[in-house]
Structure 1
Amino acid sequence: MEPSHTRVLVEAAYAAGAHDRRAAAMTVLRLLEPVTHHDAGAFMVWDPVAQAHRALAAVTYGDETVVALGDRYAASAENRPVRELHLPMRIDDMPGDYRRSPMYQEVLRPGGFEDGMTACLFSGSGAYTGMLHFSAAARGSFRADAAELLEALAPALARMCDVARRQPSGCAIPPGANATLIDHNGRAWAVESCAPALAPTQPGFAAFLRRFTASTQVTATGLQASSEGWLALQVLKVADPLGRPEPAVLVQELPTAGLPHSLSPREYDILNGMAAGFSNQQLAAQRDVSLRTVTTHVERILHKMGQPSRAGAVASALRDGILRLDR
């Protein structure tokens, strides 16, 4: 490898380790251009939760081309040798005539590209993390030294594209907690060393998430009903996984042994109704029960929570973070 290429390798590897992955990917594309001579480039990351590819960064490619270079390319026969060999491959390295393939004829050629090079990226454990695509207008643009540089840089690029390689910055996730990161488009992302959170799949959570995202709140704590019982949740706004300006939401959850203060399910329901501002009469009408029944539930709630009034019980519940988030 030429000394100038070695310097590019070092600078690109250093850039790939930056916290802002989108900015890092754009920097890598810029640093590699003097060696690869690409006219277009795209990093596609693999999201293991959604089982889909997403664009981390792209230059020159049109939007439709970028989309096709994700899941469609990954599922194509032409991608198989690239993924199996774990090596960057140029169009002319492909078995057969790649320029006769549907991917080339329908995606790359209409964009004005005559040459291309792709690398599939794998973490140190062997997990697939994404792809890097380069295209050029002229045939023969990608020389052997460009493929050699990509092969040497691949481990650093794989870490950069690995959406599950680290937890959101500044977040201490409790041991044993499930966690999911949800971006502003509602897409779920894996969190390193955590099983996916169950709460986002439950009815009512999407409506809560929209309210929380639109609010000025940074964090919220509460309970969520699920098919597996009650979950204790903390949600907080964090940096977007692709470095976009809109915040993402980190959902952390732990199962609970039961409802707080030994409240019954109906008492807990009434407590949440109280927190929503409903009177005893309204709570009775909504649940089709007598006013006396609701009054009895309220009395038991106050006794169990050690509070003298409805306002005190609601304030205590808010302070302790035990109300339903999806109420």
Structure 2
Amino acid sequence: MTDPALSTEALLGAAVALRALSRSGAGAPAVLAQLARIVPYDEALLSVWDPVTRQHRHIAGHMNDSLLSFLATEGHNDPLFEDVAAGRPARWLSELTERDRRRSTTVREVLEPNGIVEGLTQGLHTADGQYLGVFHLALYSPRPIPRACNDVLTLTLDAITATLAPHRTEPDHAARRRADSLSRREREVLTEVSRGLTNTQIAAALSISTRTVTTHIEHVLAKLGAPNRAAAVRIASHVLP
């Protein structure tokens, strides 16, 4: 657990040690343990995304069994997970709006019932922006997270990501072939998705019903083996205008 009195210098030293562990090939468990010297947590989990099974495989750390199962098989279906997969800045549980809390199945059905009062879900991406995996931090008692902890954490994300590399499913060439098989209309819909349009806006732009848009997106996700819209756009980027 991080001592709240630790100086920024001490936090930076912990980050340097974490990066050294990553470079040495010490492995994900050691890196995740070192992370506790930067950001306080009670439990943590590091997972890699498997595009074939469309699930997360847990590599290091531990959480209770109900959390483990949910995060592996259902967590990526959470409405808020698209932000994680898209690489948007991570937010602590305490930073979510009430609307986000109501929208999030993870918060409502898993985190709060299990007594988690603070936490963070941080997406990990390769240098070219591909979603690789995620780590979750959970706290069971409320306590402030110093801003310096978050700032230093950002400096270590590439090193944490590197620990997932040995566990990564080989580039899904089959997924690229599936992207090539998308129909013209499916590509049109996905192109509008890539522009940030909602289903209603896409329907208006393409002169089709919202229900039809929803169906096309469901088909696209199934064909590509993508966990969400953002991932689908990345997988199929080579076939989009």
Instruction: Quickly name the TM-score band, shorter chain normalised.
Output: 0.5 to 0.7
- Report what 2:44 is aligned to: 41
Judged with a 3 Å threshold, the aligned counterparts in structure 2 of structure 1 residues 130 and 156 are, in CA distance, closer, same or farther, namely same
Q: What secondary structure sits across from 2:48 in the alignment?
A: strand
Letter of the 2:68 partner, please give it: V
Q: Tell me if the contact between 1:53 and 1:70 (Cα under 8 Å) persists in the aligned partners.
A: yes
The number of residues matched between the two structures is 167
1:92 aligns with 2:94: yes
Q: Return the letter of the residue paired with 1:158.
A: T
In structure 2, what is the equivalent of residue 70 of structure 1? 72
Residue in 2 that maps onto 1:81: 83
TM-score of the aligned structures, taking structure 2 as reference length: 0.60
- Mark the runs of 5 or more structure 1 residues left unpaired by the alignment: 166-188, 197-327
Is contact 2:48–2:167 with CA below 8 Å preserved after alignment? Answer: no
1:92 positional shift: 2.4
Q: Which residue of structure 1 aligns with residue 161 of structure 2?
A: 158
Greater helix proportion: 2
TM-score, structure 1 as length reference: 0.46
Greater displacement, 34-43 / 71-80:
71-80
User: What letter is aligned with 1:46?
Assistant: W
User: Which whole-Å CA distance do the structure 1 matches of 2:157 and 2:68 have between them?
Assistant: 20
Q: Which residue of 2 aligns with 1:121?
A: 124
1:138 aligns to what?
141
Q: In the TM superposition, what is the alpha-carbon distance from 1:55 to its structure 2 partner?
A: 0.2
1:191-214 residue CA offsets vs partner (Å, 9 max, x unmatched): x6x957xxxxxxxxxxxxxxxxxx
Q: Percent identity?
A: 21
CA displacement at 1:45 relative to structure 2: 0.6
C-alpha distance in 1 between matches for 2:71 and 2:147: 23
- What secondary structure does 1:77 align onto? coil
1:44 CA drift (Å)? 1.0
Q: CA RMSD in A?
A: 2.6
The answer to whether residue 17 in structure 2 is matched with residue 17 in structure 1 is no
Structure 1 contact 45–130 (Cα < 8 Å) conserved: yes
Q: Paired residue for 1:4?
A: 10
Question: For residues 139 and 78 of structure 1, do their structure 2 counterparts lie closer, same or farther at Cα, with a shift above 3 Å needed?
Answer: farther
1:224-280 deviation digits (Å, cap 9, x = unpaired): xxxxxxxxxxxxxxxxxxxxxxxxxxxxxxxxxxxxxxxxxxxxxxxxxxxxxxxxx
Structure 2 letter corresponding to 1:156: A
Deviation at 1:96, TM superposition (A): 3.6
Distance 1:115 1:4 in 2: 23
Contact 1:16 1:28 in 2 (8 A): yes
Say if 1:138 and 1:121 are closer, same or farther in 2 by CA, change over 3 A: same
Which AA in structure 2 matches 1:70?
Answer: A
* Matching residue of 2:189: none
Contact 1:116 1:142 in 2 (8 A): no
State which structure, 1 or 2, has the greater radius of gyration over its C-alpha atoms. Answer: 1
Q: Distance in 1 between matches of 2:130 and 2:40?
A: 29
1:163 Cα deviation after fit = 4.5
CA distances 1:4-57 after superposition (whole Å, capped 9, x unpaired): 11111111112223446xxx2221222121331100100011123333210001
Higher RCO structure, 1 or 2 (CA under 8 Å, sep 6+): 2
Contact 1:115 1:142 in 2 (8 A): no
Q: Secondary structure at the match of 1:34?
A: coil
What amino acid sits opposite 1:7 in the alignment?
G
